Amino acid sequence: MDKTNEYLVNFKGHNFVKRFVKTEDLEKIDDFDIRDDDVFIITYPKSGTIWTQQILRLIYFEGHRNNTENISTMYRTPVFEYNIHNLDYAKMSSPRIFTSHLPYYLVPKGLTEKKTKTLYIYRNPKDVLISYFHFSNWVAIFEATYTMDQCLEKFLNGKVLGNCWFDHIRGWYEHRHDFNIMFLSYEDMKKDLRSSVLKICNFLEKELNEEDVDAVVRQATFENMKSDPLANCNYIINNEIGVKNNDGDFLRKGTIGDWKNHLTVKQNERFNMIFKRNMKHFPLKFIWDINEQ
Ligand code: PPS
Q: Is 86 exposed, middle or buried (CB count within 10 Å of its CB: 0-12, 13-18, 19+)? A: exposed
Mean pLDDT over residues 247-270, rounded?
96
Q: Give me the pLDDT at residue 144, please.
A: 65
DSSP 42: E
Q: In the annotation, is 64 catalytic? A: no
* Domain boundaries of the chain, sorted by first residue: 2-278
> What's the 113 CA to ligand 1 centre distance in angstroms?
30
Say if residue 102's pLDDT is above 80. Answer: yes
> What's the 14 CA to ligand 1 centre distance in angstroms?
22
pTM of the model: 0.96
Measured in degrees and rounded to the nearest 5, phi and psi for residue 247 equal -90, 0
Ligand 1 pocket, residue 131 CB under 6 Å? yes
> What's the 250 CA to ligand 1 centre distance in angstroms?
7
Q: What is the dihedral of CA 258, 261, 265, 269, to 10 degrees?
A: -10
Ligand 1 pocket, residue 190 CB under 6 Å? yes
Query: pLDDT by residue (tens digit) across 150-174?
Result: 999 999 999 999 999 999 999 999 9
Q: Which atom, in ligand 1's list, is nearest to the CA of 101?
A: 3
Which residue puts its alpha carbon closest to atom 17 of ligand 1? 254
Fold observed for domain 2-278: Rossmann fold (3.40.50)
How far is the CA of 192 from the CAs of 13, 36, 196, 221, in angstroms?
A: 36, 30, 6, 11
DSSP string, 13-39: TEEEEGGG--HHHHHHGGG----TT-E
